[in-house]
């Protein structure tokens, strides 16, 4: 799977995407994260990418031309028309595991990161197929949001996680419950002992205990999710 990221800060994308499990997945050829510097596509002699907003107000707005030319370059490279182009913005539906799952079925995804006060609406109308927010708060730009999508989608791509790391038991895996608590050595730490059932060697009882803890945790921490959970 390939992620094409349109940004004014490609270093931010390259650094994070080159690290840890996502970096390993890219080295292994399971995913590819390609950043495109929107500034490189500016036809302005000062390579500017933004301008004052019509109607006045604070901040700057990213201009149509460099954004559109970056997009056309990427589309030319991909050579197919049915490629989602996602604009990261707080003014959108909030991303979740289901959305990550549905986006993981594409071979290519284009992610557009905005900055300043936003992007000229006309270029968004021209190229964007999907608007995605990562939460109800405002970031200084779309890069961190794009990285959140890349991370959560990549781990669903075959080969990215090892069997050990595999996703199924974790929060929002099968069952829609939050993850149960985990423990490792030592058995006792600052007077806190590991629950004895985990040392029993009785797998069915361990599974039942973990399920119970998942239910309890979901009820306490995420009553909104718990309402939709079928026991």
Kindly list the residues in this chain that would bind ligand ADE in the complex (CB under 6 A): 88-90, 133-135, 137-139, 142, 145
Specify the residue, 134 or 178, whose C-beta has the smaller distance to ligand ADE: 134
- Work out how close the CB of 92 gets to ligand ADE at its nearest, in angstroms, rounded to a whole number: 7
Specify the residue, 66 or 114, whose C-beta has the smaller distance to ligand ADE: 114
Specify the residue, 138 or 204, whose C-beta has the smaller distance to ligand ADE: 138
Gyration radius (Cα) of the chain, Å: 22
- Work out how close the CB of 126 gets to ligand ADE at its nearest, in angstroms, rounded to a whole number: 19
State the helix-helix crossing angle for 143-154 and 10-17, rounded to 10 degrees.
30
Determine which helix (DSSP H) or strand (DSSP E) holds 128, and give its type and residue range.
none
CA dihedral 35, 37, 38, 40 (to 10 degrees): -140
- Work out how close the CB of 133 gets to ligand ADE at its nearest, in angstroms, rounded to a whole number: 4
Specify the residue, 141 or 175, whose C-beta has the smaller distance to ligand ADE: 141
- Work out how close the CB of 23 gets to ligand ADE at its nearest, in angstroms, rounded to a whole number: 23
| Cβ neighbours of residue 6 closer than 8 Å, sequence gap 6 or more | 36, 38, 67, 70, 71, 74, 110, 111, 112, 113
């Amino acid at each position: 799977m390939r992620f094409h990221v349109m940004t004014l800060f490609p270093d931010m994308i390259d650094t994070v995407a080159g690290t840890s499990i996502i970096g390993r997945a890219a080295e292994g050829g399971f995913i590819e994260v390609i950043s495109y510097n929107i500034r490189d596509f500016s036809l302005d002699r000062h390579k500017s990418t933004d301008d004052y907003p019509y109607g006045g107000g604070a901040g700057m707005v990213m201009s149509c031309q460099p954004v559109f030319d970056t997009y056309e370059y990427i589309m030319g490279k991909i050579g197919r028309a049915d490629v989602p182009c996602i604009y990261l913005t707080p003014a959108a539906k909030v991303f979740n595991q289901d959305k990550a799952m549905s986006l993981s079925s594409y071979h290519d995804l284009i992610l557009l990161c905005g900055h300043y006060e936003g992007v000229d609406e006309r270029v968004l109308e021209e190229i964007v197929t999907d608007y995605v927010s990562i939460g109800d708060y405002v970031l200084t730009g779309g890069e961190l949001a794009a990285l959140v999508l890349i991370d959560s989608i990549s781990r669903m791509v075959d080969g990215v996680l090892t069997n050990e790391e595999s996703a199924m038991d974790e929060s929002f895996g099968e069952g829609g419950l939050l993850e149960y608590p985990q423990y490792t050595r030592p058995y006792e730490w600052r007077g806190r002992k590991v629950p004895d059932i985990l040392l029993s060697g009785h797998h069915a009882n361990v599974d039942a205990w973990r399920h119970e803890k998942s239910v309890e945790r979901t009820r306490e921490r995420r009553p909104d999710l718990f309402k939709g959970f079928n026991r």
